[in-house]
Amino acid sequence: MALIQVSGLTKSYGPKQVLRGIDLAVDEGEIVGILGPNGSGKTTAVECIGGLRTPDAGQIAVAGHDPRGAGAELRELLGMQLQQCRLPARIKVGEALALYSSFYTDPRPNEELLERFDLADQRGTRFVNLSGGQQQRLSVALALIGRPRVAFLDELTTGLDPSARRDIWSYLELLRNDGVTMILVTHFMEEAQYLCDRVVILSEGRIIAEGAPDEVAGSGGSQEISFDASTDIPLTELQELPAVTDVSVARGRVIVHGGEEAPQQVIAAMTQRGIPTQRLRITTPTLDDAFLSLTQHNHHEPEAPEEQ
Amino acid sequence: MTTTTVGPTPGNSLLQGRQWHAYRAHLLNETRLHAREPAALIFGAILPVTAIIVMCVFPAAREPVASMGGVSVITAYTPVLILFSSSILGLTIIPGTLGTYRESGVLRRLRTTPTSPLSLLTALITIISGFALLVAGFIMGIPAVSGAGIPTHLGWFALAATSSTVCFVAMGALIASVVSNAKAAPGIGNAIAVVMWAASGMWFPRAGFPDWLRTVADLTPGGATAQLMLDASTTGSVEWQPFMVLLVWTLGSTALATRLFRWE
C-alpha cells in the first residue's frame, strides 16, 4: 500500500479546469518529482494532496489520513514548503525556528538546522533583511523541523546560486537516507534527474509521462553522435544502420541521430571499416529535451496572443 | 500501520499538550513582533491617555457638576475613555495583524504545522487584552495619582473594565478570523466600535432611550459596559445580567473565531 495514494484528482477554478484527473502513488522512501510548464497544475496538485486546497473530485490518502480536514496528527508527519508562504517581516531567524519548534513533539535542534542551512550567522537577522536565497533556506528548514515522514517541497532551489543549490541537494540526500518520502515540484531538470527516483510530467492538468528520470528522458529525444568529417566516411551506410534516423554533415562534423542502439552501431560500423572517429562526442537526451518534446506535443493552440 | 506513535501516551493528549507549548511560543513571539511595530497600539492609546492627563490639569474638572449628574467631569469621562480605548484596541488591532498575516501568506505557512488557530488567537487575545488593561489602568491611575480621586467601588469598576476589555478583544478576534481583507477588517472593527459607543450612550444619554432601544443596547457589550461602570461609579451595586452579556459575547466570539477561522 503506497504511502501517498491519489486517484482521480480534479480541480477547477471557475471555468478554468486546472487538474483533469491525476493519479499518483508514492511509496515510502521514494522521491517523486512533479515537473511541468507554468500553469500545468503542479502547485495546485501538491496543495490538494497536502490538504491546503479542496479538490472537486478524487481520493487522497497520505499515510492513511485524508488531508481534507487534516488534524495535527497529519501535520506532525507532513512538512510542506510552498512558494507563496512568507514569515512576518520583523521576525528573526532564530525566533522563527524557536516558534515552529514548539509546534512539534520531537523537533530537530535549532543549532543543527542553522548549521545545515548555512544560516548560523543570520540567527539574529530579521526575515525582511535576508536575501532571497536565505529566505528560501529558512523556509525549507521550517518545513523539515518537525522530522516529518513526508515532505512536499515546491520550487525548492529556484533563485539560489549553484553552491546553495548543491547544499540543499546534499541535505535532501541525507533525508532520503533517513527514509523521508518526498514530492518535489520543480522545473529544474537537473534537480529532478539528480534527486528523484521517479518523475511525473504534468501538462494542462494531466500526467503525460511517468517513470524513472532516465526512462522519461530517453522517451523524448534521440542520441546524437558526432565526429569529424572526412572524405572516406560511408554516409549512406551509416544512414542504413537500423537504429539511425538521420545523418547530416555541418561545419566539418558528421552528425548522426538515432535511438538507444545508435552509438554502438555507428562506432562498430566505423571500426569495421577501419576509419578512426576523430573527436567523437555522444550526447544523450536529457529530461529537458523530453520535457520540451512531450509538452509541445501536448500543447494545443495558444489561448492568448503571444506577448510582445 | 496508519498512525505514528509519538510518545508514551495516546496521540491525542500529547497533541493537546503541544497546544499549550504553541500558545506560549505564540505569546512570546507576538509580543515581540507587536513591540517592534507599536504604531497601531500607540494610536489606540494616545488619545484617551492624553485626554485624561489634560483633564487632570484643570482643577475645575474635579468639581462635581450639575450637568454631569452631580459628578465631576473626570468621574463622568473615565468610563467613556476606557470604553473608547478598549473598544478601539480590541476591535481593530487583531483584525489588522491577522489580516496582514493572511495576505502575506504567514497564516498559510502556519496552516502546514500542527498548530491550531486557537493557540494563535488566544495568544493574541491575551496580549492585546493585557495592553488594553494597561491603558485602562493609566486612565484610572492618572487621576488617582494627581489627587482627583478613584472611581467609587473600585473593585466592581475594575472588574467591569476588565470584562469589557476582554470582550472587545474577543470580538476583534472574531472579525479577524472571518474577514480576510487586511484593510476591511480593521475598518469593520472601527464601525462596530462606533455602534458600541452609541449603545453606551456616548452620543445620546442612555436615560433618554426608549425602552425597547434600551433593552437592545443593554444586550450589546457597549451597553452592558456602560451600565456596569455607571453602577460601579455611583451606587456600587452591580447586577449580574450585564456581566452575563459580556461573558456570552466573549465566549461566543472566541468559539466562532476558532470554528470559522479562514487561513486564506
Residue of chain A whose Cα is closest to the Cα of B24: A102
Under an 8 A CB cutoff, do B114 and A76 touch?
A: yes
Per the structure block, which three cell numbers stand in for A273? Answer: 571499416
Q: Would the pLDDT of A226 be above 70?
A: yes
- The strand ranges marked E within chain B are 64-65, 71-72
Contact A206, A53 (CB under 8 A): no
The grid cell for A212 is 524513472
pLDDT (0 to 100) of residue A219: 67
Q: Which fold has domain A222-285?
A: Alpha-Beta Plaits (3.30.70)
Q: Which residues make Cβ contacts (< 8 Å) with residue B219, sequence separation at least 6?
A: B245
Percent of chain A with pLDDT over 70: 95
State the total domains in chain B: 1
Question: Band of the pLDDT at A301, cuts 50, 70, 90?
Answer: very low
Cell numbers 513526508 correspond to A150
- Examine the pLDDT at B255 and tell me if it is beyond 80: yes
**Does the structure show a pLDDT above 70 at A5?**
yes
B112:A63 CB<8 A: no
Q: Which of A88, A106, A143 sits opposite B101 (nearest CB)?
A: A88
pLDDT-derived band at B61, boundaries 50, 70, 90 = confident
Please tell me if residue B18 touches chain A, with a CB cutoff of 8 Å.
yes
Determine the average pLDDT of the residues in B62-90.
Answer: 85
The stretch B70-95 carries a mean pLDDT of 90
pLDDT for A298: 65
> CB of B249 within 8 Å of any CB in chain A?
no
Three-class secondary structure of residue B64 per DSSP: strand
A112-170 pLDDT, tens per residue? 999 888 899 999 999 999 988 888 889 999 999 999 999 999 988 877 888 888 888 88
The pTM for the full model equals 0.83
Q: Which residues of A touch B105 (CB under 8 A)?
A: 84-86
Provide the mean pLDDT of chain A: 87
Give the residue from chain A lying closest to B101, CA to CA.
Answer: A88
| Residue-by-residue DSSP string for chain A | --SEEEEEEEEEETTEEEEEEEEEEE-TT-EEEEE--TTSSHHHHHHHHTTSS--SEEEEEETTB-STT--HHHHHHEEEE-TT----TT-BHHHHHHHHHTTSSSPPPHHHHHHHTT-GGGTT-BGGGS-HHHHHHHHHHHHHTT--SEEEEESTTTT--HHHHHHHHHHHHHHHHTT-EEEEE-S-HHHHHHH-SEEEEEETTEEEEEE-HHHHHHHH--EEEEEE--TT--HHHHHHSTTEEEEEEETTEEEEEE-TTHHHHHHHHHHHHT---TT-EEEPPPHHHHHHHHHHHH--S-SSPPP-
Q: Pick from A212-216, B189-193, B200-204 the range whose average pLDDT is largest.
A: B189-193
Quick one: pLDDT band at residue B237, thresholds 50, 70, 90? confident
Residue B4 lies in a domain: no
How does residue A111 score in pLDDT terms, banded at 50, 70 and 90? very high
Task: State the DSSP code for B146.
Answer: T
Q: How far is B249 from chain A (nearest CA, A)?
A: 27
Bigger pLDDT: A120 vs B76: A120
Phi and psi (nearest 5°) for B180? -85, -20
The DSSP symbol for B152 reads S
Q: Does the pLDDT at position B89 exceed 50? A: yes
In a domain, B7, yes or no: no
Provide the pLDDT confidence category of residue B220 given band limits of 50, 70 and 90.
very high
CB count in 10 Å sphere of residue B133: 20
What's the whole-number mean pLDDT along residues A231-236?
Answer: 83
CB pairs under 8 A between A and B: 92
Q: What is the pLDDT of residue A302?
A: 46
Which domain covers residue B56, as residue numbers? 14-260
* Contact yes or no for B25 and A104 at CB 8 A: no
pLDDT band at A303 (very low <50, low <70, confident <90, very high): very low
Q: Where are the domains of chain A?
A: 4-211, 222-285
Buried b (16+ CB within 10 A) or exposed e, B234-245: eeeebeeebbeb
Strand partners, A256: A225, A247
Task: Look at residue A55 and tell me whether its pLDDT is greater than 50.
Answer: yes
Searching chain A, which residue's CA lies closest to the CA of residue B115? A103
Q: Please indicate whether, in this complex, the C-beta atoms of A146 and B14 are within 8 angstroms of each other.
A: no
Instruction: Give the whole-number percent of chain A exceeding pLDDT 90.
Output: 44
Question: Would you state the pLDDT for residue A229?
Answer: 84
Which of the four pLDDT bands, split at 50, 70 and 90, describes residue B1?
Answer: very low
> At A216, is the pLDDT very low, low, confident or very high (cuts 50, 70, 90)?
confident
Q: What tens digit of pLDDT does each residue of B15-49 get?
A: 567 889 999 999 999 999 999 999 989 988 999 99
Residue B222 lies in a domain: yes
Contact between A90 and B105 using a beta-carbon 8 Å cutoff: no
More confident residue, A200 or A295: A200
Q: φ and ψ at B255, to 5 degrees?
A: -65, -45
pLDDT the model gives residue B251? 95
The pLDDT value recorded for residue B14 is: 54
Q: What is d(CA B54, CA B61) in angstroms, rounded to the nearest whole number?
A: 9
Q: Which of A46, A47, A62, A76 to mutate to test the interface with B (most CBs of B within 10 A)?
A: A76
Beta bridge partners of A92: A126
pLDDT on residue A277: 84
Mean pLDDT computed over A28-52 = 91
Q: Quick check: B224 and B171 in contact, CB under 8 A?
A: no
Inspect the interface and report whether the beta carbons of B22 and A103 lie closer than 8 Å: yes
CB contact under 8 A, B37 and A90: yes
Contact between chains at A65 and B112 (C-beta distance less than 8 A):
no
Tell me the CA distances in angstroms from B30 to A11, B40, B111, B119, B124, one per residue in order.
Answer: 36, 14, 17, 12, 7
Confidence of residue A299 (pLDDT cuts 50, 70, 90): low
C-alpha–C-alpha distance, residues B125 and B170, integer Å: 6
For the domain covering A4-211, report its CATH number.
Answer: 3.40.50.300
pLDDT at B99: 94
In this prediction, residue A185 has a pLDDT band, given cuts at 50, 70 and 90, of: very high
Minimal Cα distance from B113: which residue of A? Answer: A75
- B181 pLDDT higher than 80: yes
